Structure 1
């Protein structure tokens, strides 16, 4: 099972606040609509370590900031039939960020853009039968 979204500092503070107000883990879970295991983990960590914030993760930071990713997405959707090399050159001139074509291709793939065609477009040939069935 994959991990869910990380809790914000505010959400962790609410859990600890409810705990200090003498609410049970089950009550806090129902009140804040969080799994009981998450509530229990936040409370245990607060009791043992005094920490309610998420610690920084290890690893290399992302090359593109969120703003750069949004610019790239707009450019890719606007200029859908362009090559990755042309898109990379245009992106570098607009944003000033130095990125490789491999990074641009990876980000396009994460955004759901495969090759030169967007997965957001409808498939051509609308006369096909649904579910692959042919008329007899």
Structure 2
């Protein structure tokens, strides 16, 4: 029968099973709460996230509240995942303009120095340690 209808045999078996169990082949009501009607908010959310990719979920939540749709952060995350947008954890703080300028000035001053000057420099790593808080990580 599946060859004449050009339908996979598993589909025919599931239709027959549904008919035997429920007496109908129409779609049955599904479990769970239906999703909120937020088409406009979904489009605005993906638009904002593609414009500013470093936006946090909390900021996106407040921007959707301005539109008039109150949505949980996990719902926002799921919506972004369905749109193909995924978050990453930023582990290092981004350089500020002031730091970039001072580093550039320092590098330009060191251009003419001989290489053996660096033997007299004591090198150390700076580490920022926070006992409480989220240690500068942002999920964007």
* Normalised TM-score (structure 2): 0.48
Specify the structure having the higher radius of gyration (Cα): 2
Structure with more contact order per residue of length (Cα contacts < 8 Å, sep ≥ 6): 2
* Normalised TM-score (structure 1): 0.49
